[in-house]
Amino acid sequence: MKLIFEKSREGAGCDILSACDVPRYELPREAARQESWELPQVAETDISRHYKELAKRVHGVNDGFYPLGSCTMKYNPQVNEQAANLRGFTDIHPLQPLHTVQGCLEVLGQMESAICEITGMDSATMQPAAGAHGEFVGLLLIKAYLREKGETGRNKIIVPDSAHGTNPASASMAGFETVNIASGKDGCVDIEALRQAVGEDTAGLMLTNPNTVGIFDKNIVEITSIIHEAGGLCYYDGANLNAVMGVARPGDMGFDVVHVNLHKTFSTPHGGGGPGGGVVGCKAFLETYLPADYPVKVECETSHETRADKQAGTQIGQQDSSRSRQPVNAQADKSAEVQDMQEDEAQIEYTMIKPDSSIGRVKGFYGNFLVAVRALTYIKMLGRDGIPQASANAVLNANYMKARLKDVYSMPYDGLCMHEFVMTLEDIHKDKDVSALDIAKMLLDNGIHPPTMYFPLIVHEALMVEPTETESKATLDDAIEVFRAVREKAEQDPEYLHQCPVNTPVGRLDEVQAARKPILKYEFKA
C-alpha cells in the first residue's frame, strides 16, 4: 500500500472549503511560515480510496473477536455516538456563561454521582484525559494530603509485580519512589512481603483488584488495613473494574482513591490516541485537593459546600455569567437588562467551584466532555440491574473460555477467574520452539486479534485473554475452536507457525529492527 504522499501528483486537488466571506487577515511575516507546507496533492477520489484502503487493514471490535487481556476491548453501542452528536452537546464552548450550559454541567454532575455510587467514593472529577493521567492525578491527591499533614517523609508507593506498567511510571512522575513486592504462588499479594515493605516512609499502595492475572484478591480488606495502619493511603487502579462494577466497590474494600478507565468499563472509544477519560474518585477527606474546576449543584446540601462554601461557588458562577453576557440591544432600558441578567442567574442549578486546597487544573477546562456523555449514556441504558449483569457476563465468558481451553493450554493459576485469564506457552516453547508470539501471529490468520502477549511478567510466555461481556456464546465457541486448532498445528508443524501470519496484508515484520530503527516520518525528495 502506498502512503498518501506517494499518491501525490502535481496539480491534483479538490475544493472542500467554501469561499471566504470575511476580510482576509495576513499574519505578520515573523509569525508566518517561511516554507510551503509539504502537503500531498490528491483528488477527492484518491482521498476516499486511501482511507477506505486503510480501513480494510484495521481490526477492531466491529471486525471480529478482540480478546486483548486487561484492556476490555468491548463493543461500544452506537447509541453512545448518537447522544454525543446531539447539537446541545457539540455546539458549545467552555467559555460560555454557565447559565447557557446547565445541561452539560448536569451531565458531568450525574456522571460524578454515578461513578461515586459504583466505586464507593464520595466525590469525583471528570478532568483527567486518560487512565494513566487519572493515576497521576490520584497520586497528586495523596501527595497533597500528606504534604498538608506535614508528612513529607512518606515518599514510597508500594506496587505489586503484577501491576500495570503505568503504575510505577505514574508514581515516579508524582515524585514518589516505587517499592515492588512479589506476588504469591496464588497470583495475589504476598501478605508477609507487604508487611515487611510498609513503614514510616510509606505513602500508599497502588493495586488493581481483580488483579492482572484475573484473580480477585481474597485478602483485599487485610491488604488495605495494613497500609492504613502504617499511615499510608490506598489507591485503586480501575483498569479491571469491568469485572466487578455493580457487585463490589473499591471504597468498601478500603481504598481512598480510584481512577476509572471510561474506555474499558463504560464503553467509550478505546485506542487511536483518544480522546479518553480517566475519572478520579476519592473519599471525603481528599475532596479539598481535587482539581479545579468541577460542577456542583447549587441548592444541594453536600460536603462540597463545607469545603469551598456554596455561596462562594455561586458567586463565581454568577460573576462569570454577568461578565460574559452582552445585551442584545445596547439602547435597551438598563432596568430591563438587569432584570434579564437576574433571570439568567436564576437558571443556574450547577456552578463550578475550586476546592480550598486544589492541586490545580490538570487539563484544559473540564476534561473530554463528549466522552463523559458517551459513558453516561451507557450507564443510563444499562441501569441499576444491567451494570452488575454486564460484570457477571464478563466473568462467565472468561471462565467458559478457560474451562474449554485448559486441556490444551497450561493455566498457571487454578480455579475460577474473574473477567480474564492467563495462559502460559512455556511448555510448547520448550518442546517445539513455538512461542506466545507465534501463536498470536497464527491467530491473526484466523481473523482473531491476539490476546495480550508476554504480560504480566510474572507468567512466562504469557497470553492474557479477556473475552468481555459483549461476545456471544457462538462467538466464543468459534474462537475456542481456533485456539485449539492453532495449538494442534503448533504440535504437528511448528515451523509453519514461525512463518505466520501468511494471510494478512503484511507478513511477519522484523520487530527487533522496527523497535531499534523505526521510521517515524516520511522523507521528502530533495
pLDDT in tens, 13-34: 887 778 889 999 989 999 998 8
Which amino acid is located at 408 in the chain? V
**DSSP, residue by residue, 354-393:** --TT----SSSTTS-HHHHHHHHHHHHHHHHHHHHHHHHH
Q: Which band of pLDDT confidence, cut at 50, 70 and 90, is reported for residue 47?
A: very high
Q: How many helices (H) and strands (E) does the chain have?
A: 19, 12
| Cβ atoms of 315 and 298 closer than 8 Å | no
CB burial of residue 21 (10 Å; 0-12, 13-18, 19+): exposed
How does strand 421-424 pair with strand 462-465? antiparallel
Report pLDDT digits (tens) over 122-141. Answer: 999 999 999 999 999 999 99
Report how far residue 435's alpha carbon sits from residue 134's, in angstroms, rounded to the nearest whole number. Answer: 35
Q: Do the beta carbons of residue 179 and residue 157 sit within 8 Å?
A: yes
Specify the pairing of strand 233-237 against strand 202-207. Answer: parallel
Nearest to residue 228, comparing CAs of 210, 254, 249?
Answer: 254
Domains by residue range for the chain, with CATH: 1-57 (no CATH), 104-292+359-372 (3.40.640.10), 385-516 (3.90.1150.10)
Segment 242-301, tens digit of pLDDT:
999 999 999 999 999 999 999 999 999 886 656 789 999 999 999 999 998 888 888 654
What pTM value is reported for the model?
0.86
